[in-house]
Amino acid sequence: MAWEDVVVRLYGSRRLLTPWVPGLRPTEKEPLPMGQAAAALDTTLMLEGMQQVDLCGVSYGAMVAAQLAADFPERVRRLVLVGGQVRPPRSVMRMQGALLRMIPRSRFVDAGVSKDQVLRSQKVVRALDLTDALPRITARTLVLVGAKDVVNQAAARALTSGIADARLRVVEGAGHLVNVDRPEELSTILADFLDEPGDDAVASGGVEA
Tens digits of residue pLDDT in 108-167:
655 556 666 676 667 777 778 999 999 999 999 999 999 999 989 999 999 999 999 999
Tens digits of residue pLDDT in 31-78:
788 899 999 999 999 999 888 999 999 988 999 999 999 999 999 999
CATH number at residue 28: 3.40.50.1820
β-pair partners for 56: 80, 204
Domain count within the chain? 1
In a domain, 209, yes or no: no
In a domain, 9, yes or no: yes
Residues 27/36, Cβ–Cβ less than 8 Å: no
In a domain, 150, yes or no: yes
Q: Say whether pTM exceeds 0.85.
A: no
Tens digits of residue pLDDT in 75-107:
999 999 999 999 877 776 677 667 767 777 666
Which residues constitute the domain of residue 149?
4-204
pLDDT at 208: 35
In a domain, 51, yes or no: yes
